[in-house]
Structure 1
Amino acid sequence: MTTFDDRESAFENKFAHDEELRFKAIARRDRLVGLWAAEKLGKTGADADAYARDVVSADLKKPGDADVFEKLRADLPADVGDAEIRQQMLDLLARAVQEIETQ
């Protein structure tokens, strides 16, 4: 049973590690997409950072990405389409994962 217990513990540790990395990647993505949106809104410096923090906070309201998308959609002008927002979210998630993996 010791080998089985060791394997079970290893799987649990890997799951916990993967979930931590997933959380970090999504939080980083939210910050990056917040900075992208802030630029679209003409915000710079401290205002852009504050907006990015608001986007990160928005992600804590509901599970999944819907809350972030809804915040961005509500804040961004109509000339920024839904597809562009979703594409930025995907692209910046990939960038966030890459940044975390290279740390």
Structure 2
Amino acid sequence: MTTFDDRERAYETKFALDAELRFKAEARRNRLLGEWAAGLMGMQGDEARRYAMTIVTSDFEATGAHDVSSKLAADLEGRADEAEIRAKMTELMEVARKQVIGENQ
């Protein structure tokens, strides 16, 4: 095996790991967003957890975060606007990323 092959394998492994961590962080962010939104709607306990899972699964409907923000905007009409939702998504992505990285160390 050559150095080039070793290097190529290392890049492929890193790419796969980065993709997995990104997926986990996005799913975590969506759950955290769901919990935040559930709180704004007055949900607690199991109801809030179930709602948070609907946010996680809504991300599988289309590529990108637009499906999540659209669902939240519709559900939170009058409670949070699009700008607030986007800001919360950015904030919680950083929280989720730190949590996932911390779990994988």
Please tell me the TM-score bracket, short chain as reference: over 0.9
**Deviation per residue, 1:16-57 (Å, 9 max, x gap):** 000000000000000000000000011100000000000000
3-state DSSP class of the match of 1:18?
A: helix
Residue 72 of structure 1: aligned partner: 72
Name the amino acid aligned to 2:37.
Answer: A
State the identity as a percent: 50
Which position in structure 2 is the counterpart of 1:47? 47
The DSSP-based 3-state class of the residue aligned with 2:73 is helix
Give matches, 1:1-103, under 5 Å. 2-103=2-103
TM score, norm. by length of structure 2: 0.95
* RMSD over aligned Cα atoms: 0.9
- How many residues are paired up? 103
Distance apart, 1:79 and its partner CA: 3.8
1:77 positional shift: 2.7
Unaligned runs of 5+ in 2: none
Query: Is there any run of 5+ residues in structure 1 with no aligned partner, and where?
Result: none
Q: Secondary structure at the match of 1:62?
A: coil
- Secondary structure (helix, strand or coil) at the match of 1:70 reads helix
Q: Distance in 2 between matches of 1:16 and 1:77?
A: 38
TM-score (norm 1): 0.97
